[in-house]
Structure 1
Amino acid sequence: MTPDLDIAVIGSGLAGLAAAHELRRNGHEVCVFEAADAPGGRMRSVRRDGYTIDTGAEQISAQGYRATWQLIRRAGLTPHDVPRIGRPMAVWRGGRPHNGVGEPRAVLTGAGLVPAARPSLARFLAWSGRRRAEIDHDHPETTPLGSDTVADAARAYHPDLHDHLLQPLSSAFFGWDAGRSAAAPLVGLLLAVGPVSAWRTYRGGMDLLATRLAAGLDTRYGRRVDEVTDHGDHARLTVDGTTLTARAVVLAVPAPVALKLTGGPHPADAGYVAASTFRPMFKVSCALDRPLAPRGGGYALLTPAVEEPLLSCVIADHLKCADRAPAGAGLISLLASPRHLPELAAGTEEEAARRLTAAAERYVPGLGAALTATHVHHWPEAMPELTPRALAVRAAFLRRPARAVEYAGDWVAARPSSEGAARSGALAAARVLAHLAPHRGRTAPQETAA
């Protein structure tokens, strides 16, 4: 049988584009199908009235993002295209912001922790530093943290470490519930990305890398894939009602979407795919007629659940990168608290925006008067939750043989980040190449093959 396609990739987020780019580098013809009208997935940016609005991801790191930086170089981007943010991150406590979150000096300054909690922070940092070699970010299922959730791991320390550091970090950036999500991926991520002062963003929008990668590929937008099936030596996919065959397919979509498309994956895959639950996120971008910012001057302000019921984070996008707003204007993003997402999603976008902007007035005085427009971004499957249950079955998933249908996404890498997406794309490509190799007995690459 002659297939209709060589290799099909479903999804043009960074994971799918990384896989497609690597497969093309190895001489294959790759077709990328994307249901939306532009690439990027959760790294997509939109442009409206002179504002560049990042709908999902906000930043990357200068360290711990090896696969991402490799893609950046291959895409022809330079350090100028990925500028350093250069602004602090703060946490709200006791009616005011405290800068220095995510910096080594937080042990001395507190960064929102009471003096009695600072020895706990020092102890936590010392422990994680000593066990760094055992906290393998590629294999969080094997770390000393075992099946502990974020809340479990925090119980050995002063309550502030949970309430004013780990909970707000995991809530703001991943939409996690600290009582459900595993501690190991979070601690591994904190060790990998380094201090906030090393964080960077993409000039012109967080979708810069995705747009550049997609431009060099056969990327077909507005194409909905309804079904994917594995037939051993080939795969079938239904695209807008038309059935096509391919030598291999990469599903670069969230695990719940992959389950729906495959109608239940191969038994060797099912455990981890089914256990890989996702958390939603709800974000409101506020276009302002002046460059307001959170009190304290940081580009990001964490609002812990013990301090603020409705918001988890306030981000000054025009401080993150000046090109996000027109000259003399401002752009503020508001991330909703995970506990209030169901009720926000159930109502209208207008009501959600009204509630979040009203709550943000406390942290950005004058926001309401400066507001010219709001843009709501709701991601039902925003970030992999990475529960202890999922990590318990991940090792078996990684040992499965390479097949005609493979997976990519930060959930595969157990890294809730664009680096996780990039690594998983490289891994999926390596597994497809192993499947297509003449020697079918070749061992499938493991997670570290980024």
Structure 2
Amino acid sequence: MAFEGLADRLQDTLQKIRGKGKVTEADVKEMMREVRLALLEADVNFKVVKQFINKVKERAVGQEVMKSLTPGQQVIKVVNEELTALMGGEQSKIAVSSRPPTVIMMAGLQGAGKTTTVGKLANHLRKNHNRKPLLVAADIYRPAAINQLETLGKQLSMPVFSMGDQVSPVEIASKAIEKAKEEHLDYVIIDTAGRLHIDEDLMQELKDVKEAVTPDEIFLVVDSMTGQDAVNVAESFNDALHITGVVLTKLDGDTRGGAALSIKAVTDKPIKFAGMGEKLDALEPFHPERMASRILGMGDVLTLIEKAQTSVDEDKAKELEKKMRTMSFTFDDFLDQLGQVRSMGPLDELMDMIPGMNKKAMKNVSVDEKQIGRVEAIIQSMTTREKEEPDIINASRKKRIAVGSGTTVQDVNRLLKQFDEMKKMMKQMTNMSKGGKKKGKGMNFPFMQ
């Protein structure tokens, strides 16, 4: 997860104060020292850290906290609110033109993932808002960028406007908008040129494109793994172009994450989206309050629900509920559910979104993606009858399934046992929903160790 180091440090620090019935100024001072170190280690801009610490300290030693019944929790609430404010306070949505198409100009340095982000953004607009975007190849200096965008267009079955690399970006952008109007498309997303570093020629060209097409949004694509450099890049582009928002890429990587906490404070421009992986659906609207909650180990249930809504088939979910009630849940059903859960994203990231499922809580449980593949292989090696009636799987059948799936008999036994536990748990949950008092014991899924 993004902010991993920062999250661990902050959660450890806040844990010390969480259950305190009385909090002194000395406690707050000590906690703020730890929070300050955690933020600086995460590569947050030192001026931003200073302002953040001062705001939290001022509120944390105020009357509302010190005289409350749960001062420890009140301090954590203050940290959560100020962390949310630091990242922008609330989600900043795309400005939509009253006269379509809405024009979005994408800018950024080479290597930040700008061209891929154009494809991801187009996919997001179509998938989540039912919009029709036009992708525009206006990076004429890197032929690979034009080819890459055309390839992305084919993958997404979306139109790409290109005039090759011998026409000026200004003309390409202008003609693309005419094309979008003719074909009644909703969005024009312009992939502009990048450089390895900021220079006058690059900035002048971007200014010329901006002047020619008057974009509704200018998004700066920034690699969050570049730390403080990301903040410096954002500042320079903002000074020249007056960007309207930032897209942070590689926020799923092993990054300290300080850029995300600094960019809004330094540029006063919102983070609009976050790239959370390489797939074309791995772009999420940036919600400061949800990200703050995840950093502090409080989970992110709303994002989890949204992922489920887009990934889970509603009819299948109703059918599954019925099968759970009648105890007719089979291995085929389990396989289907596993596929739907996997389509929501990496399992360790999903775990991060569940309140309390932070690293500390999950230290003895590891999510093994390879194990999921083994589970699928075992189930797929069963006959139709075996999937529906696991009780008939005797020793010889287990050997055959193990050979067919490239696993061991022990692996097959483990899965059968866990599946049986899962069915028992479902029965207990059904009893509880009917008013029963039974409580199911904890269990591990077949992909947890």
- The TM-score, its normalising length taken from structure 2, stands at 0.23
- The TM-score, its normalising length taken from structure 1, stands at 0.23
The structure carrying a bigger strand percent of its residues is: 1
* Larger relative contact order (Cα-Cα within 8 Å, sequence gap ≥ 6): 1
